[in-house]
Amino acid sequence: MSASHSKKPHRASSEPAKRGYRFERLIAWQKAMDFCERVYDVSMCFPKEEVYGLTSQFRRASVSIPLNIAEGSGCGSDREFSRFLSVALRSQYEVVTILRRAERL
């Protein structure tokens, strides 16, 4: 594969996006968006009394993942970008913990 055809899935290119934003081409962002949809589907099965507690936190934590990926993609350096990816990963840990808690209900 030549250098012009190689893909860098972790970071958007510096060339302007043809349509939409550069972060929308990031595989991590796309998968995080898909994950959010799954979280919303799963949370529909949570007990009604958890709508303002566990359900809300579960959804907010999942949405934080693609939000941080998107925000980080606009940073000026890889180091800055990695900080946002770290926050996204911690949000993922939060989602998993909430899911484990929900399994105990």
pLDDT, tens digit (0-9, with 9 covering 90-100), for 27-56 = 999 999 999 999 999 999 888 998 889 999
pTM of full prediction above 0.75: yes
Domains parsed from the chain with CATH numbers: 22-103 (1.20.1440.60)
Choose among 97, 37, 32: nearest CA to 67: 32
| Distance between CA atoms of residues 74 and 42, nearest Å | 31
Q: How far apart are CA 103 and CA 105, in angstroms?
A: 6
Instruction: Read off the pLDDT of residues 63-97 as tens digits, 9 standing for 90 and up.
Output: 999 999 999 999 989 999 999 999 999 999 999 99
pLDDT the model gives residue 18: 61
Q: Which residue has the higher pLDDT, 4 or 102?
A: 102
